[in-house]
Amino acid sequence: MEPRIIAGEITTRSFFDALRPLWRRLDAERTMSPGKLGVISRFVEQGQAASSELGAVAHVSPQAISLAVGELERLEFVVRATGDEDRRRTWTILTVEGRRKPVQEVAAEHAWLDRAVAERLTPEGRKALEGAIRVLSKLGPEVSVD
């Protein structure tokens, strides 16, 4: 689909129409859902967490966090441990493999994109992409990611 041009600018819809297939292709490189990777990323930031804390930070229900943590435990990316000070409290802790997983997922995405850029874009196209990246980077700095 050709981008619609209005007064010399690409419309928002055209922008997303161009990005959507790229995101889908990057998602295809993953072996884990973005949600589970998000949970792992929270563990990487915090070291350990209780499921209730994760749910609050991630803005998802306790049931959803419980399911995600259970799946991550089954995959041996996390383990559960009883608290030292409060034996009623259960902590979820990343395993070594759990720490490696996000790095592997990002590396697979980057490898695909590096190959696609090298194989599909001309030198002029790569230069245009670099320019577009510089322009796009100006759109988001004030945005809070929380």
Residue-wise pLDDT for 11-57, tens only, equals 788 888 889 999 999 888 888 888 788 888 877 777 777 766 666 66
pTM check: above 0.85 = no
**What SS3 string covers the chain?**
CCCCEECCEECHHHHHHHHHHHHHHHHHCCCCCHHHHHHHHHHHHHCEECHHHHHHHHCCCHHHHHHHHHHHHHCCCEEEEECCCCCCCEEEEECHHHHHHHHHHHHHHHHHHHHHHHHHCCHHHHHHHHHHHHHHCCCCCCCCCC
Determine contact, residues 108/37, Cβ cutoff 8 Å: no
The pLDDT assigned to 35 comes to 79
Residue-wise pLDDT for 83-103, tens only, equals 677 777 778 888 999 999 989
Same domain assignment for residues 127 and 100: yes
What phi, psi does 79 have (nearest 5°)?
A: -130, 155
Residue 88 lies in a domain: yes
* 65 pLDDT higher than 90: no
Range of the domain at 40: 31-136
Total structural domains within the chain: 2
Residue 145 lies in a domain: no
